[in-house]
Amino acid sequence: KYKTDYQVIGLINSAGFCHVGELSEDNHAKNSQMINVNIQGITNVIEIILPIMQANKFGTIMNLSSLADRYPRPKNMVYAATKAYVRSLSDSLRMDNAKYNIRIINLAPALVETPMVTGALGTSEGTIKVDNRKTIKVDNRSYIFQYFPALENHFPSFQNSFRTAPE
């Protein structure tokens, strides 16, 4: 068991790796890497952090999947399947951990211009451009995060997104 003197109030699970190609023996190493990062990596982090949040009866976990988790993706099926895992895991964790006052959020962005997306596609054409970073201050703490202007309407006040833990 992992123990900490710190109170973990949030986790943003944004690990991701993408490779476009056929499902074949030639791509086995890349497909295994996607499974290891996109499934095993996210699961490992949650296994460490979730018991701390459950003990504190408080926390938020945000998992990033992708819109690829919803539709068939020829030549990108392993990536899509790993992101469907993230979505399903998030839904199940949300139901299982509501009793602990733990929020589980699944964010499924579209084609956001990131090194991973442009590397996999070989172009940034058709991607959503983002400001790289935004800093906010809450309770005399600075938070730096990647900012998605298109989501601002869904989160009208970033200040309210950063709840402080109960005393």
What are the catalytic residues?
A: 79, 83
| Residue 63 to residue 84: CA distance in whole angstroms | 12
The letter for the amino acid at 163 is R
Give the torsion through C-alpha atoms of 104, 109, 114, 115, to 10 deg.
80
Give the pairing type, strands 134-138 and 141-145.
Answer: antiparallel
CA distances 20 to 74, 84, 158, Å, are 9, 16, 34
